[in-house]
Chain A
């Protein structure tokens, strides 16, 4: 099975800051990488699919990049509503595992 590792596990940042979260796959997944945002008590929300494609309705301050084994999610200017937990997920092969999550908190 492919293992997905996110870093950092948590981070604190201020409103307006630029933030980057990293996701690494244990083997190549080309660009079969998705990013989700989850707020407490809510279902995950798809942000980015196929490594860099922005899901409809998601603000353009969110962007994704990478291919192969290394990927990043960048939030260009943090807004109060962005404080949440972020998960990456590979959909290259079965089973489509998630990373362990990155909790983004307000500084």
Chain B
């Protein structure tokens, strides 16, 4: 069964804490993306990776970090420097031809 999985589905963060969101795909796609979704603002790009061991900042990278050590995995860390992290986070992978496939999302809430 091919697809993208994100875990956990819900995540709660205390002030000053770093948290890591998992994204795994078995679609054999080279490119992967992290987006943040806030009500009324659509999706905003945090980081993207076109290939293993390479990634670029998106429009709102401050306070976030990523790694791409394996083709299948693209974890996102929300650091304590991100002052307003409460949002819905979406991971996607892209096949040749521009179509993106999205995971089910992780809802992060700051306590």
A-B complex is real? no
